[in-house]
């Protein structure tokens, strides 16, 4: 097994041993690692049911599924009655808790009305008709249709029984629900069809590699492909008979091996796939080579590793052009191209990215700036956002990003309303040539098709301490573009020293100033989206882009934190933001998408026609002039496909 020090030095390492994956084998043959025999028809179902019941009993008693002899041989220590039990079903199965809060945790449960809960459902973001959803999976474009697969529980509004939901769209805005694409019906994904990615081969064939949670809770990678490639809807999927195609190396924990990326072709003509994992507290990205997607070779070193970042989930790896706005096929490399490496950190539930250089011969990625490495530098989004995944849209030549917006209320509330979680509006990802250190994220252009009733305000003067009502009725479905010009002569040595975003009620010399969205007439409920100008500890000027949820609702059993991060504002630039409001979702894009913040909001007063929009300047020493464009957005058409 590689040592922790090896990983800290980013040196190459060799696994103690690596067993090449076999092809299809008869059901009675043995399985590598701790994977048990495949269920065979009725006997298999009965055996699996018995195993499940036995596991359930032991889970109740000990807090963990039973351990196989192979696991014991690899020193996978089981929990004993004296150990701490997993805090959730998710943790028992090898992933961290997906829900924000199981119950009110001692806070008084808010008496939600049916009208309040109905208002929370979005109008133009994608979400299923009902029940739980999390990670976006395998997005692609095929024969005129965009396909979105997603982690879905068809039985409940809480995590569990994870299948692949499936929907299609012509424009990434209006969606049609399709039947489930894949369900946990085989020994290699018996406990869940987890996150995966799609790869379109040069001949047009589509392959999906996804993580399966096996019948004894081992994370493996499986292959699936369309039953009929000529079907634009890709209704039927076939799981490869020789699954799993990848199992955890013996020096990787059986529950720390998941979420394969879209594949790319290296200079030797072989495909590469990277899978997230960890060694102790070092997050790593393993690389495998394959010529046929059924047989793989583990590269003898990691693509990248960052000490202290913990388990890497939902790794994404893609090229980005430094010479133009067009997206690139995942296999592109060469002059004028950087590579973005992104990981979802299981320890803190945030998505981080870094820009760097990929050596396709050595299969090593190096960040441009080690201080901005994955997990310690820039975040994809500074709000409630996780498990993001991109795909190359070959139809329009763009790189499109999806992200999961989880709930920040309680499981009890989710079950009451009957659904949980939403996907972000798809975003186009480009390289920020002005900073050279950031990606830019921007809502896909198709969002504009929903716009109506344009209202504009030019040169609104905001003196310190002012709040201006923009008289927008029913401000629950909006697309807002705002620009703020500040009096730079007032930016002097009296600026506050700022280390992070603070509540908007806390006044400083040069901030906060911005918008109040989902706000009621009396300002008792409000959600500020704002800029704050301050100085760092070394005296240099910095700029913050923030969203404050502390007064967003009267409910006490929901999250009310302040989100945000630094945003580069270059010389000659005014402060700009675009904000999408969709009932309980607020997506904010600062400075053209250099810094993004996604929020879940649960108002009790600022709903329906009582939801209003304001400008504000809560600085003490700064005058601000604002110009705002506002569009009401129509609802998207999202319904079952008429099969």
Using DSSP's 3-state secondary structure scheme, residue 465 falls into coil
Are 274 and 303 in contact by the 8 Å Cβ rule? The answer is yes
Prior bond of 119 cis (ω within 30°): no
Residue 523 to residue 631: CA distance in whole angstroms: 22
Torsion (CA) 186, 188, 190, 193 in degrees, nearest 10: -100
Residue tagged 């395998």 (tokens): 138
Residue 346 to residue 30: CA distance in whole angstroms: 32
Are 633 and 452 in contact by the 8 Å Cβ rule? The answer is yes
Pinpoint the alpha helices (H) of 322-428. 411-417
Has 189 been annotated as catalytic?
Answer: no
Q: Which two tokens stand for residue 111?
A: 């008496």
User: In the structure, how many helices (H) and strands (E) does the chain have?
Assistant: 6, 37
Using DSSP's 3-state secondary structure scheme, residue 576 falls into strand
Question: Which residues contact residue 534 at a Cβ distance below 8 angstroms, ignoring those fewer than 6 apart?
Answer: 495, 496, 497, 498, 508, 510, 511, 541, 542, 543, 544
Question: Which residues contact residue 641 at a Cβ distance below 8 angstroms, ignoring those fewer than 6 apart?
Answer: 168, 176, 177, 178, 233
Are 356 and 366 in contact by the 8 Å Cβ rule? The answer is yes
Looking from the CA of 256 toward its CB, the CA atoms found within 13 Å total: 22
Q: Give me the catalytic one of 6, 135, 213, 373.
A: 135
Residue 77 to residue 81: CA distance in whole angstroms: 13
The beta strands (E) that lie in 78-171 are given as 131-142, 145-153, 163-169
Residue 526 to residue 528: CA distance in whole angstroms: 6
Residues in the chain: 643
255 phi and psi, to 5 degrees?
-110, 20
Are 324 and 440 in contact by the 8 Å Cβ rule? The answer is no
What kind and span of H or E run contains 532? strand 527-535
Q: Which two tokens stand for residue 217?
A: 């809770």
Q: What is the DSSP string of 253-311?
A: -TTS-B-PPPPEE-TTS-EEEEEEEEETTEEEEEEEEESSSSSEEE-SS-SEEETT---
Residue 552 to residue 255: CA distance in whole angstroms: 38
Q: Which residues are catalytic?
A: 135
């Amino acid at each position: 097994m590689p040592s922790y020090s090896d990983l800290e030095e980013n040196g190459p390492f060799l696994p103690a041993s690596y067993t090449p994956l076999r092809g299809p084998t008869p059901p009675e043959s043995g399985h590598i690692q701790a994977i048990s025999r495949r269920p065979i028809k009725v006997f298999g179902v009965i055996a699996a049911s018995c195993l499940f019941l036995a596991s359930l009993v032991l889970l109740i008693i000990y807090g963990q599924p039973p351990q196989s002899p192979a696991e014991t041989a690899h020193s996978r220590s089981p929990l004993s009655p004296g150990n701490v039990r997993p805090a959730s079903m998710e943790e028992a199965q090898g992933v961290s808790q997906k829900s924000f809060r199981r119950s009110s945790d001692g806070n008084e449960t808010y008496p939600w009305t049916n009208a309040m809960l109905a208002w929370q459902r979005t109008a133009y973001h994608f979400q299923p008709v009902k029940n739980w959803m999390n990670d976006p999976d395998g997005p692609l474009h095929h024969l005129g249709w965009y396909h979105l697969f997603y982690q879905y529980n068809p039985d409940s509004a809480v995590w569990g029984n994870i299948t692949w939901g499936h929907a299609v769209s012509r424009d990434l805005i209006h969606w049609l629900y399709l039947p489930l694409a894949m369900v946990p019906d085989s020994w290699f994904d018996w406990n869940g069809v987890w996150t995966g990615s799609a790869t379109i081969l040069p001949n047009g064939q589509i392959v999906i590699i996804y993580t399966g949670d096996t019948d004894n809770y081992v994370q493996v990678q499986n292959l699936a492909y369309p039953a009929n490639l000529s079907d634009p809807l890709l209704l039927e999927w076939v799981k490869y008979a020789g699954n799993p195609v990848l199992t955890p190396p013996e020096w990787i924990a059986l529950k720390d091996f998941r979420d394969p990326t879209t594949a790319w072709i290296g200079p030797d003509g072989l495909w590469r796939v990277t899978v997230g994992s960890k060694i102790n507290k070092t997050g790593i990205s393993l690389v495998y080579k394959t010529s046929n997607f059924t047989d793989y070779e583990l590269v003898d070193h990691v693509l990248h590793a960052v000490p202290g970042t913990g388990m890497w989930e939902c790794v994404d790896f893609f090229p980005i052009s430094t010479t133009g706005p067009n997206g690139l096929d995942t296999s592109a490399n060469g002059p004028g191209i950087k590579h973005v490496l992104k990981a979802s950190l299981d320890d803190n539930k945030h998505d981080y990215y870094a820009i760097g250089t990929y050596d396709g011969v050595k299969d090593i990625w190096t960040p441009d700036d080690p201080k901005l490495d994955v997990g310690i530098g820039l975040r994809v989004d500074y709000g409630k956002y996780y498990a993001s995944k991109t795909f190359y849209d070959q139809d329009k030549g763009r790189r499109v990003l999806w992200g999961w917006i989880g709930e920040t209320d309680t499981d009890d509330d989710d079950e009451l309303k009957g659904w949980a979680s939403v996907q972000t509006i798809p975003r186009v990802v480009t390289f920020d040539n002005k900073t050279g250190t950031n990606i830019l994220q921007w809502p896909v252009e198709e969002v504009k098709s929903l716009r109506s009733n344009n209202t504009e305000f030019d040169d609104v003067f905001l003196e310190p301490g002012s709040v201006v009502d923009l008289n927008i009725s029913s401000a629950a479905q909006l697309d807002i573009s705002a620009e703020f010009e500040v009096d730079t002569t007032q930016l002097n040595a009296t600026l506050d020293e700022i280390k992070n975003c603070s509540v908007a009620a806390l006044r400083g010399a040069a901030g906060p100033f911005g918008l109040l969205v989902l706000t009621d007439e009396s300002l008792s409920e409000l959600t500020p989206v704002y800029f704050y100008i301050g100085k760092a500890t070394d005296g240099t000027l910095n700029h913050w882009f923030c969203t404050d949820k502390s007064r967003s609702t009267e409910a006490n059993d929901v999250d009310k934190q302040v989100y945000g991060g630094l945003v580069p504002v270059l010389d000659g630039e005014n402060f700009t933001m675009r904000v999408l409001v969709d009932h309980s979702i607020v997506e904010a894009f600062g400075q053209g998408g250099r810094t993004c913040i996604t929020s879940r909001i649960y108002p009790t007063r600022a709903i329906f026609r009582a939801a209003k929009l304001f400008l504000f300047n809560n600085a003490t020493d700064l005058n601000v002039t604002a110009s705002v464009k506002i569009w009401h957005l129509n609802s998207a058409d999202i319904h079952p496909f008429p099969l």
